[in-house]
Amino acid sequence: MKKQLLLDLVTVSFLFFICINTNAQNSKSLSSKNSSLSVLNGAWKMVYDNVDGKIMVAKDQPFKIYVLNDGFWMWFGPDSTGNWNQGGAGTYEIDGNIWKQKALYSFDPSRVGLIDWSKFEMREDTLYMQNYVKMFEKGKDITTYMPRRNVKWVRFKE
């Protein structure tokens, strides 16, 4: 299991760096809109998940891991059986308290291209998000089909 987890982590890291390199090659510098994103840089673990009123609180390990870096994101997490083999990567920007995230890569090909707008609030090393405030697939608003979801992320520390 540890070998599989290591292999999965290497795969997701590879996808994340492809995402960064692909987008970095397309722009000579980050836009001024992204300069404020550095406060979110780092690794985050999901410790609370409320989907349509069904609440889960992490105990021994996080539900997902998010890595953010100046407008780029990647996540890694377990599937429904507990195997850590799910993930994705893409770009994000912030407009006020709205997080606009686009999936460029995903273990689930149907998620590539999805755009998720989430409300967020950051308090020190804790990030609170209300996901799916708006959700777009191929330019079409699919928000009404999405669950109500609130999550809590905590920044990894040594």
For 128-158, the pLDDT digits (tens) are: 999 999 999 999 999 999 999 999 999 998 6
Domains and CATH numbers, the chain: 2-155 (2.40.128.280)
Of residues 57 and 4, which shows the higher confidence score? 57
Burial class of residue 88, CB neighbours in 10 A (0-12, 13-18, 19+): buried
156, two tokens: 């990894």
pTM (two decimals): 0.74
Closest to 118 measured CA to CA, from 90, 93, 141 = 93
Mean of pLDDT values over 77-100 = 92
Among 128, 129, 137, 86, CA closest to 110: 137
Residue 115: pLDDT over 70: yes
pLDDT value at 65 more than 90: yes
Cα separation, 104 vs 87, whole angstroms? 11
As a whole number of angstroms, the longest Cα–Cα distance in the chain is 44
